[in-house]
Chain A
Amino acid sequence: NAGVMQNPRHLVRRRGQEARLRCSPMKGHSHVYWYRQLPEEGLKFMVYLQKENIIDESGMPKERFSAEFPKEGPSILRIQQVVRGDSAAYFCASSPAIGNTIYFGEGSWLTVV
């Protein structure tokens, strides 16, 4: 059973470009979470989604960031007009149901130049 798959693992974007990070949850998991880890800082919750629904986006920056988890295909975290402060590791996690154990992917490292 494959784990949580994230791609790309590393992404370089110039200021002002868009970044799209993809996450395929573990098989049978319909709950997806996104976390961000800034350099030398802790993991911060961003958003929690179920298929086609955003359940909790209390950790998402108000502008430029969006997330989706369509009926078919991976979850996408989209960052528009990236700035240097967006440089971070972005981790996706999944669980089969609310309250169940959450498993993380290997992360996507975004560098904004």
Chain B
Amino acid sequence: DAKTTQPNSMESNEEEPVHLPCNHSTISGTDYIHWYRQLPSQGPEYVIHGLTSNVNNRMASLAIAEDRKSSTLILHRATLRDAAVYYCILRDRSGSARQLTFGSGTQLTVLP
């Protein structure tokens, strides 16, 4: 899987939007961009994924740059429960990359 780069940590205020960036300059045309998060003492939780177009679901939005070399996970209104480590992962859509390869992610702190 291609490498991704994320900031080690970010802070946000409760009830404000959060934009979590991810750089993936070596992304290939067949790589999906996946986001997972891991709350303390819990397993990773699937958040969202996309290929080229921006994606929205009940948890978050994913904005993908036109050249696909970067993406941003958007939490529209942060809550204390959103404090977690957020992982941006590339995964080949052909399925040849069977497992997910986790990096160090971004530790999000939400301030009350």
A interface with B by C-beta (< 8 Å): 4, 31, 33, 35, 42-45, 48, 55-56, 91, 93, 98-99, 101-107
Minimum distance in angstroms from A6 CB to a CB of chain B: 8
Tally of B interface residues using CB under 8 Å: 21
Minimum distance in angstroms from B84 CB to a CB of chain A: 13
- Residues on B with C-beta less than 8 A from A98 are 95, 98
The residue of chain A having its C-beta at the shortest distance from the C-beta of B104 within the complex is A42
Q: Mark B41-72, 1 if CB is under 8 A from A, else 0.
A: 11111100100000000000000000000000
B interface with A by C-beta (< 8 Å): 36, 38, 41-46, 49, 91, 93-95, 98-105
Of the candidates B42, B46, B94, B102, the one whose C-beta lies within 8 Å of that of A99 is B94
State the CA gap A50–B45 with chains docked (Å): 21
- Residues on A with C-beta less than 8 A from B91 are 99
A106 touching B42, Cβ below 8 Å: yes
